[in-house]
Amino acid sequence: MKKQFAIFALLLPALGAAGELVFPADGWDARNPLASDEAVPGGRLVLNGVQGKSLNAYLDNFSSTHQIFGMMYETLLGMDSITADFTPGLASRWRISDDRTSFTFELDPAAKWSDGKPVTAEDVRWTWEKIMDPASDTGHHKLSLGVFDAPEVVDARTVRFNAREVHWRNLMSAGTFEILPKHAFEGRDFNTINFEFPAVSGPYRLAAFRENVSVTLERRPDWWGWGRASNRGVHNFQTVTHRFFTDQDNAFDALKKGDIDVFAVYTARQWANETQGERFDRHWIVKQRVTNHQPVGFQGFAMNMRRAPYDDLRVRRALAMLLDRGTLNSAFMFDAYFLHASYYEDLYAGAFAKDKPALVPFDPAAAQKLLAEAGWARNAKTGALEKDGRPFVINFLTRDTANDRFLAFYAAELKKHGIDLKIDRKDFASWMRDMQAFNFDMTWSAWGGGIFRDPEYMWSSAEADRPSGVNTTGFRDPAVDALIEKQKTIFDLAERNAILREIDAALTAQIPYILLWNINSTRLLYWDKFGRPATVLGKYGSDSAVASLWWFDDALADELADAMQNNDPLPARPAEISFDATFKP
């Protein structure tokens, strides 16, 4: 999409009163082109995930939490799987005022909670109020919804959002937050709504939860949405279980044992060296790399700019110059990744080339000069780098051992220059508290991309100290703030992306993160007992699409069981899947 029409030109809108736009046009409801005619309901899917502090996605920011929550609770608007245009969700119709500040949603008369009560405008208003309540630990969710006055309940099934300012994301903000049932949670402390959800609106309900072990969702035969053509052939599994792991190596071992069904590989070592043996050689476990249009995010060592010495650009640049990313990629990761040169990598041509240099080169001599300029000097007796009598010690906050070898490599180089890197490993709860309170020197952070990128959450000065926010580094820059303000009223995606490149230039110059590396495909392992679309994943989606687009195939499951019993091979599946080459509209 070269321009963002998903706000004002999707689904052939009609003109309403006073020139307002009315969506969608009649006849919008068509079958999802990625849903297979062969899909049948039933069977079990077991995935791996991470248990956060809550299964309430407003209180927890893990991707698995969002996936689980989104299977139970719905938003006013959906999104077309191919065009990324907005489609009806809980709302069957919506209106946008001609001044682009008022958004009116008409709830589908069929929309009901699992206890039989209708979804109402009061539910929408109550959810907004609880998110915006200062006592609710809803973090960055307050940002996008805070531009609206309290939603106006027009009638039982009509709700209106009035924005205090024009912003390209306003329809998306009002239409894509999960609506909760007021009658089920009213009177509860919102921060305690964690693991019990007595009424849901989505295709799945919570069937079982074992703390730190697993959560199981069960398909609802009475879901109100089954009547829509667009929901046929999706949400097929009778149960979807997420088993919780704090370590990816343990999750990988569980896949090989058959304790989980699907595993997305984020470690080059596993993909290159540990996918051999009879399970893989006999194709009982399928190994596929899937390339689609999933937006690419970034990952790196986040430096806490709220505290010294990380508030000094010279120090941040020096620390970046002391990490030899090229050697790490070749020696530890089989040259499987491209090195980051941007925070918005896919805005640039040739961004994913593996021979592209890193944003900041490995240059110890230049790093030493910068540290000296910043007032750091070697203690002749101890060899430690010091300033004002204090040694340079980095407390690196982490919660698992998966990245220890990378940190050991970095620590060895830092040690040569008198800097001591100490791994501050915490259990999950302690790690979460420290992250929410920004209590760290440096930590490893990875962020997904988005179809519609909004820089405000992560880079606005106003977000630098928001509890549980995502401006992890505490980045502040008046020039970036001005660019963020400028892009708010631009509805053309290409124009906004041009501004994002300006923001990116400021970020790359100021180095809030020591950017690392990434990959623009999904490396997928799964037991060959599932039906799946030819594209395997969706156009924009990650491995999370498995739960909505795949189905349990009894015939394939029987073939797999027979092959394992007789030690026979199964037919090989394609090793590479390209969405563009495979999708046939």
14-28+52-192 domain in CATH 3.90.76.10?
Answer: yes
Bridge partner list, 217: 206, 240
- DSSP character string of 444-455: EEEE---SS--T
Those residues with Cβ within 8 angstroms of residue 444's Cβ, 6 or more apart along the chain or in another chain: 299, 300, 301, 302, 396, 398, 403
CA distance linking residue 60 with residue 50, whole number of Å: 11
Backbone angles phi, psi at 215, to 5 degrees: -135, 140
Q: How far apart are CA 312 and CA 384, in angstroms?
A: 19
> In 12-157, which ranges are E strands?
14-15, 21-23, 44-49, 77-79, 86-88, 91-96, 102-107, 152-155
Sign of the CA dihedral 368, 370, 372, 377? negative
3-state secondary structure of 513: strand
Q: How far is CA 526 from CA 248, 263, 395, 561, in A?
A: 15, 6, 38, 14
Single-letter amino acid, residue 13: P
**Tens digits of per-residue pLDDT, 380-397?**
999 999 999 999 999 999
Q: What does the pLDDT average to over 469-483?
A: 96
The per-residue pLDDT for 9 is 38
- The pLDDT tens digits for 68-83 are 999 999 999 999 999 9
Residues pairing with 79 in the sheet? 86
Tens-digit pLDDT profile for residues 340-354:
999 999 899 888 888
What is the arithmetic mean of pLDDT over 485-498?
94
pLDDT for 508 beyond 90 = yes
Composition of the chain by helix, strand, coil, percent to 5? 30, 20, 50
pLDDT of residue 11: 43
Q: For residue 379, what pLDDT is reported?
A: 96
Domain ranges across the chain: 14-28+52-192, 245-293+521-582, 298-518
The single-letter code of the amino acid at 500 is L
Check pLDDT > 50 for residue 329. Answer: yes
pLDDT(209) > 60: yes
Which pLDDT score is estimated for 273?
93
pLDDT at 402 over 60: yes
123 neighbors 179 (Cβ within 8 angstroms): yes
Tens digits of per-residue pLDDT, 34-72?
Answer: 999 999 999 999 999 888 889 999 999 888 899 999 999
In 3D space, the residue among 172, 193, 234, 328 whose CA is nearest the CA of residue 40 turns out to be 234
Per-residue pLDDT reduced to its tens digit, 119-160? 999 999 999 999 999 999 998 899 999 999 999 999 999 999
Class of domain 298-518 as given by CATH: alpha beta
pLDDT band at 117 (very low <50, low <70, confident <90, very high): very high
Identify residue 189 by its one-letter amino acid code: D
- pLDDT exceeds cutoff 90 at 12: no
pTM of the predicted model as reported, rounded to 2 decimal places: 0.89
DSSP string, 217-253: EEE-TT-GGGGSGGGTT-S--SEEEEEE-SSHHHHHH
- Percent of the chain residues past pLDDT 70, beyond the cut: 97
Kindly give the pairing relationship between strand 442-447 and strand 298-303.
antiparallel
Residue 308 in tokens: 């010294």
Range in 183-187, 244-248, 361-365, 565-569 the model is least confident about: 244-248
Distances (CA, A) of 559 to 169, 216, 291, 529, 571: 48, 26, 28, 8, 10
Query: Which residues contact residue 189 at a Cβ distance below 8 angstroms, ignoring those fewer than 6 apart?
Result: 135
Give me the pLDDT at residue 61, please.
Answer: 82
Return mean pLDDT, the chain: 93
